[in-house]
Structure 1
Amino acid sequence: MGQLLVILAHPSISDSIANKTIVEGIQQKYPSAEVRDLTALYPDFKIDVAAEQQALKSADTVIFQYPFFWYNMPGILKHWCDEVLTFNFAYGPEGDQLKGKNFMASFTIGGPQDAYKATGYNHFRIEEFMKPIEQTAHLTQMNYFDPVYTHGMVYIEGVYNTVEGVTERAQAHLDRLFQQLDNIQG
């Protein structure tokens, strides 16, 4: 497998059940994968653009790993995109540094699947919320692969889910992610 880069955007990965399980599983299966924890690297949101662009250039496959926040990616990941995916690096007349690299999003969703449909309380399917990320991949000439996501990935003690249930769903998510990576890497 080529070089795998995981851009992790979680506000507190140490407190996470699902994202932590997924990232640890990636690191176990792919020990050479580079995981860039944006919150740990940039708690002040001051992105080292050169370092991030170099990590991207060294990668064959890029995964965004994050919890789904307010129908989108966490703020630090959006800020990272704004700062790192620049004109004449990622797009524009000379912006071909990401051309041909594989890209996919892997994210966890707290709410139930039934909430994400026209008659659900969020009104839209997850795929509809993913259009900006899909277009970003196309603009940067990356090979876009369908995202891997899982619902019901939040635990609120005594209110919603169990630790065991979230852990099981995270493991199933990880299995689907590995299958997708195996397909991508051929």
Structure 2
Amino acid sequence: MTLIILAHPTFDESLANKTIVEELQKSNLAIEIRNLHELYPDFQIASQTEQEVLLRHNTVVFQYPFYWYNMPAILKQWFDVVFEQHFAFGSKGDKLKGKNFLASFTVGGKEKDYTTLEKHHFHVYEFCKNLEQTAYFAQMNFVEPIYTYRTSLADGFTKDEIRNVAKEHSKKLINRLIEMNLYNYPQ
């Protein structure tokens, strides 16, 4: 079973992330979705509860919008509270060892804004190093992130364009999850 940690501060207003989650829910995949903003609107994350949930799943997908070159604040808070010593790291911290770690996120702007190095100076994948290190430190299997550009109305994309891009994103995500289950990814 796959755990989806959803971290979107305005999920009800979201087009891209909401479409991705809806497509996941329509799939035949066995998933559990935990909407952090719904569960913890005060950011008071119950670490023991979240740790127990993590232990029940082999794959963890972190679904979120790319905010200021990183994850939303509640997801960072979640990591700070849940991935604690003697659970996720340290001499006794091997509880997540061998589980799959997959970031799935949406980027509001255009791909060229992150590839020409003129506007944002770095490629999006360069902002994923903290995720890779977190997975490595927790002895998890880091799975190459799935991310999609052109998902913001503020950047001039239409609702239909955003939904279509999000549906393509969800197809990639679903296929990756199926592949992981069939072949015990990573090999």
TM over 0.5: yes
Aligned length: 182
Provide the residue aligned with 1:24 in structure 2.
22
1:82 shift after superposition: 0.2
> Residue 185 of structure 2 aligns with which residue?
none
Q: CA deviation at 1:30?
A: 4.1
Give TM-score scaled by structure 1 length: 0.94
- Per the alignment, residue 124 of structure 2 pairs with 126
- Mark the CA change 1:24 to 1:107 in structure 2 (over 3 Å): closer, same or farther: same
User: For the Cα contact (< 8 Å) 1:114–1:120, is it kept in 2?
Assistant: no
- 1:115–1:122 contact (8 Å) kept in structure 2: yes
Poorly superposed stretches of 4+, deviation over 4 Å: none
Of 158, 168, 180 in structure 1, the residue corresponding to residue 176 of structure 2 is 180
* 1:53 is the counterpart of 2:51: yes
- Measured against aligned partners, the alpha-carbon deviations of 1:96-143 in whole angstroms (never above 9, x if no partner) come to 110011110000000110111353300101111000011000110111
C-alpha deviations, 1:83-105, integer Å up to 9, x for none?
00000100111001100111100
| Structure 1 gap segments, 5+ residues each | none
Which runs of 5 or more structure 2 residues have no equivalent in the other structure?
A: 183-187
1:91 aligned counterpart, secondary structure: coil
Separation of aligned partners in 2, 1:8 and 1:99: 22
Identity of aligned residues (%): 46
Q: 1:113 aligns with which of 89, 111, 114?
A: 111
Supply the distance in 1 between the matched residues of 2:145 and 2:118 (Cα, whole angstroms). 21
CA RMSD in angstroms comes to 1.2
**Aligned pair partner of 2:138 in 137, 140, 147:** 140
Q: Which deviates the most, 7-16 or 26-35?
A: 26-35
